[in-house]
Amino acid sequence: MLTDKTESLAEMVDWESGLISGQIFVDDDIYRHEAERLFLRTWNFLAHESQLQKAGDFVTTFIGADRILLVKQGDGSIKAMLSACRHRGLSVCRVDFGNAGSFVCPFHGWVYDGAGVLRSAPNFESSYHGRFDKSLWGLVAVPRVESYKGLVFGCFDLEAPSLPEYLGDMAWYLDCLLDRREGGTEVIGGVHRIRIRGNWKLAAEQFAGDNYHAIITHVSAGSAWADGPSGRSAGGFAKIMQLPGRQFSSRAGHGMAGFLARDSGLPSFCDPSMSEDQAVVAEYFRATRNEAADRLGVVRADGAPDGAGLVFPNFGILANTLGASTLTLIHPKGPSQFDYSRWCVVDLAAPKAVKEAMVRCLHVWPLGMADADDGENWGGIQATLQGPIARRLKFNYQMGVGQECSDQDFPGTITPFIVGEVPQRNFYRRWLEYMTSESWPVIDQ
């Protein structure tokens, strides 16, 4: 594997020195390797439980490059299956979501029930003459499906640890988004999907650790809405990124890109001066602060740690940021493209008017005014890396080297700044372990 390359993967990913080769973003062999060694081993986000309410509800998604069908079962459980007919492989479900009692392959008409059991095929007796055992030809199940506070994940690797163990300290940070109030969360309003012409890791590492980009990538967005007495926006991201803050890194590859410390003097949820919707959300957070504090403690109830984060390898969150929260899935589509899917996630117990205000906030940020410039820049990197010299460049991931510490308020490895590249180095350290291991890569502490 990879024998035609002059460099080994370990040479391309020198995470200790903070030097990462552009090669890992463009190489076809590395991409094929990822499809096998990474996505078939990691826990992959599949859906939010609120998308699957009653028996027969289904959604379609991907694990890596494989099409996955999720179906709510009669017993309330959720089953994940490869959406590929066992006869010739055609997808048995070609819509995004809905409710169905069975799934029919359009090629020859094999019919599977909601649990993936092969139930019938046309002219079954006269075609197969009794020499066919339907029980052996059900849809291939994703062997492990587990949920964490509403988020459904699937994993093909039987050696992988349980989902809570896989998440580790990251769960504490996810709770800021998922567990503020009784009843948890729901996603509302469908999904927003766009195809970006960049390697999926460019977006993943950004969620894990790159607040730094906002200063310049999003400068036009920040200044465009600074048309009022906006305390947050008028100073721009350059000011925010100098405020007291923290980053979280996980040995398992997860990260929080950077959040304001409680003493930063700036509430992180939203900016009431920006719009009526932001004001509605700000008031909602104020009104529910004590309930959140009872559940999560004051550190998490008062805003830290919000912002961008990543569950390794490709599930991002943007928690309580400028009026809304998003779940993000970064589906690779070859080495040079990915589909960027976003869902709006809200407290189930929030009033309808607050939920609607949150969706509208999301249309401003990030969907409306930030995405365009992210898409431009990720695509621009990919374009540059078509050149053989450019792709052999070692990129600099050295911000924050040697500044890891621990913190009494925040679990995991912490860097005492709101920007840095420790989470990214941990992301690539873990990526390298998956890519170079013959079996589940046990974390050696």
Partner 1 sequence: MDVRQLEIGATLQFEIEQFYYREAELLDDRRFSEWLDLFSDDTRYWMPTRSNRQLREQDKEASADGEFALFDDNKRTLGWRVKQLNSFTHWAENPRSRTRHLVSNVRIAAGPEGGELAVKSNFICYRNRLQDEVDLWAGERHDLMRRDEQHVWLIARRKVFLDQNVVLSKNLSVFF
**Which residues would be at the binding site for partner 1 (CB under 8 A)?**
94-100, 188-198, 216-217, 219-221, 223-225, 227, 275, 339, 342-344, 356, 359-360, 362-364, 367-369, 371-373, 375-379, 383
| Tally of CB atoms within 10 A around 41 | 19
DSSP string, 340-405: EEEEEEEETTS-HHHHHHHHHHHHHTTTTTTHHHHHHHHHHHHHHTTSHHHHTPEEE--TTTT--B
Pick the closer one to partner 1 by CB: 343 or 397: 343
**Residue 339 CB, nearest approach to partner 1 (Å):** 6
When computed from its CA atoms, the radius of gyration of the chain, rounded to whole angstroms, is 23
Pick the closer one to partner 1 by CB: 8 or 386: 386
**Residue 214 CB, nearest approach to partner 1 (Å):** 12
Sheet holding 102-104, edge to edge: 102-104, 111-113, 118-120
Quick one: how far is CA 160 from the chain centroid? Answer: 19
**Residue 373 CB, nearest approach to partner 1 (Å):** 5
Q: What whole-number distance in Å separates Cα of residue 314 and Cα of residue 279?
A: 32
Pick the closer one to partner 1 by CB: 97 or 137: 97
Pick the closer one to partner 1 by CB: 32 or 363: 363
**Residue 341 CB, nearest approach to partner 1 (Å):** 8
Pick the closer one to partner 1 by CB: 218 or 246: 218
Pick the closer one to partner 1 by CB: 292 or 318: 318
**Residue 101 CB, nearest approach to partner 1 (Å):** 12
Q: What whole-number distance in Å separates Cα of residue 293 and Cα of residue 378?
A: 38
The dihedrals phi and psi of 263, each to the nearest 5 degrees, come to: -95, 20
Helix (H) or strand (E) holding 172: helix 170-178
**Residue 236 CB, nearest approach to partner 1 (Å):** 11
Pick the closer one to partner 1 by CB: 25 or 312: 25
**Residue 199 CB, nearest approach to partner 1 (Å):** 13
Q: Residue-wise over 297-321: b if at least 16 C-beta within 10 A, else e?
A: eebbbbbbbbbbbbbbbbbbbbbbb
